[in-house]
């Protein structure tokens, strides 16, 4: 059975969280880093914008006033407000058995996420078809075939980038959602705010209780081990990854408090 590295981090600022993910991807691409599942949280509510997303999609004045960080992701997609959640990132590649290309890799990686939800008793499935208003910069107002849904409601989304034969995918396990805050961050009108409330679900919505400490992390580990037939072994960043993280933070910070 192959082994992958497992990193479980405490809360950090948005730019550092994104810089760590980028450093792990770079190390894997160079052949110096192992396939890695990383689980982490955020030291304050933070918006991550997609790699090419316009910063004007976010109300920066509101974010400054309310202590909300803003950072840039190395992956694409629309903006996500990270708050009460567990975030995962996985870096793996063709040499680790990951199918080459976006469609195939999303399928197998999202199956591992679905297994994690099933560990929690949540019957998550891949979203059947894209939907959502084109004009909004908020990720959770949109559903794609790479998302996980509970019935017709979106549970979580993921974003991905490939660098040669190495892939980074990350996304959120949302525990609770502050609809009002999210609507203000992305300047959602009344109809869009109503749609966000009606078409999304959280873990607490689905389970009617908050997972105990460590339960969510254990579910994600079990899901990945089962789908990829691997053993996850606890590890840390290498010195090269730590150095690359430090060098990347300034590039990814748009407004960290």
**Per-position DSSP letters for 116-178, written without gaps between them:** HHHHTT---EE-SS-BS-TT--BGGG-B-TTSEEETTEEEE-EEEEEETTEEEEEEEEES---
Please report where in the chains the tokens 């990383």 appear, as a residue: 38
For 5-44, letters b (16+ CB in 10 Å) and e give: bbbbbeebbbbbbbbbbbbbbbbbbeeebbbbbbbbbbeb
Q: Catalytic residue positions?
A: 139
**Any residues with CB less than 8 A from the CB of 56 and at least 6 apart, and which?**
none
């Amino acid at each position: 059975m192959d082994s992958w590295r497992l990193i479980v981090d405490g809360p950090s600022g948005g730019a550092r969280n994104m810089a760590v993910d980028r450093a792990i991807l770079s190390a894997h691409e160079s052949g110096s880093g192992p396939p890695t599942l990383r689980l982490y949280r955020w030291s304050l509510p933070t918006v991550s914008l997609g790699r090419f997303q316009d910063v004007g999609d976010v109300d920066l004045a509101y974010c400054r006033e309310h202590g909300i960080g803003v950072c840039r992701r190395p992956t694409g997609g629309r903006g996500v407000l990270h708050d009460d959640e567990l975030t995962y990132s996985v870096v793996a590649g063709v040499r680790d058995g990951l199918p080459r290309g976006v469609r195939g890799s999303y399928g197998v990686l999202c199956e591992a996420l679905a297994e994690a939800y099933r560990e929690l008793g949540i019957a998550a499935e891949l979203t059947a078809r894209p939907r959502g208003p084109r004009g909004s910069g908020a990720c959770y107002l949109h559903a794609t075939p790479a998302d996980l849904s509970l019935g017709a409601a979106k549970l979580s989304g993921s974003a991905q980038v490939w660098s040669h034969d190495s892939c980074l995918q990350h996304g959120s396990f949302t525990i609770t959602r502050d609809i009002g805050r999210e609507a203000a961050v992305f300047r959602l009108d009344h109809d869009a705010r109503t749609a966000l409330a009606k078409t999304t679900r959280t873990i607490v919505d689905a389970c009617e209780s908050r997972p105990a400490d460590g339960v969510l992390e254990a579910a994600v580990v079990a899901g990945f081990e089962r789908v990829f037939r691997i053993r996850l072994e606890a590890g840390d960043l290498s010195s090269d990854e730590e150095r690359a993280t430090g060098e990347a933070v300034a590039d990814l910070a748009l407004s960290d408090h």
